[in-house]
Amino acid sequence: MASKRSSVTKKFGILTAGGDCPGLNAAIRGVCRAAHDRYGMEIIGISDGFRGLIEESVRVLHPNDFSGILTRGGTILGASREKPFKSDIKDSDDIAGEKVAAVKKTYKKLGLDCLVVLGGNGTNTTGYRFAKEGLNVIGLPKTIDNDIVGTDRAFGFHSALSIGTEAIDRLHSTARSHSRVIVIELMGHKVGWLGLYAGVAGGGDVILIPEIPFDIQSIVRHLDDRAKIGKTYSIVVAAEGALSIKEAKMDKQERKKYRAEKGPSVAYRVAREIHDETGMETRATVLGYMQRGGIPSASDRVLATSLGTAAADLLARGDYGRMVCLHGNDISSVDLSVPEGKIKSVPVDHYMIDTAIAVGTCMGNE
């Protein structure tokens, strides 16, 4: 057996926070196998995200714990949306302060050299804030939304894209059989990466994303034009954060009130408006958490494993305060401050938008 390589980090903790997504277990395996087998590090698994550090819910991870998990969905560590720097009680900083102190106390008590956090924007932002508090932190980007600044792609996106595309494929046959308009809502939080890519891959006739506020009349004209040439069915792909031009002009409170009256889901709002404007038989479907569950795609397994092993190398070098990332075809890292409090939106001049328009897709703004 090959001798272990030298490592600055001797003992580290690892957690998964925020929503689950395909590839988390593959990333855990990548980090842990490289850290243990190559460098001989001791690994502390932290349960349920940052809550596990607050409540000291931890365990030593052995090779059998991270063996055989490459293809499994979810996360063997569990996850939560616990945000230590934010109190659930309005106008109270005391509870948040106690949580931060508890995390730091557990980190010190466990004798950790570093904390590895797997998560999205919020998790990596929290990781950076703890780095500023004096903890050594390394981040891994995961999200089906693909909205993390600093990496070209996060693991989870490709799997969700495949699921979204398959759903659109299946809806085509139903829409065609019944001469219906079907509006399918995909996840994506406040950005349109998932809706745009799945819409193009699935041949959506209309694609609505948050970055391009839509005009219902533009959608109606496009559907009417299709009907005039004998295309009696259509698929409208709507990212969950898509909004109309009217909504885009509202402040947060006005928009919240409007949606409470018209329906919180964009798919149902758009479907209702299409029916009211055209008389076409219209249905809405919300894919929901189906996009986050199940086994990761081959692409996400490869990316998650590569990011995980790169994180182990950072640990070995003691190169803390970094987030591993994908830049082009290369795995590298950026300062953990890069993704802090930011969202990577789809640029309005992105080639994929032009691609969609070039094949006759309506983006809701023509």
> Residues with catalytic annotation?
145
Alpha helices, DSSP H, located in the chain: 24-33, 50-54, 94-110, 121-132, 157-178, 193-201, 216-228, 245-248, 252-262, 266-278, 298-317, 351-358
Q: Give the Cα separation of 83 and 87 in Å (integer).
A: 8
End-to-end CA distance of the chain: 64
**Cα–Cα distances in angstroms (integers) from residue 341 to residues 88, 183, 253, 255, 274, in the given order:** 19, 32, 21, 22, 36
Q: Give the Cα separation of 340 and 328 in Å (integer).
A: 21
Are residues 308 and 142 in contact, defined by beta-carbon separation less than 8 angstroms?
A: no
Report the SS3 class of residue 341: coil
3-state DSSP: the chain helix, strand, coil percent, rounded to 5?
A: 45, 15, 40
Neighbours of 250 (CB within 10 A): 15
| DSSP notation for 157-194 | HHHHHHHHHHHHHHHHHHHHHHT-EEEEEE--TT--HH
Neighbours of 150 (CB within 10 A): 25
Q: Give the Cα separation of 87 and 159 in Å (integer).
A: 33
Q: Give the Cα separation of 89 and 181 in Å (integer).
A: 44
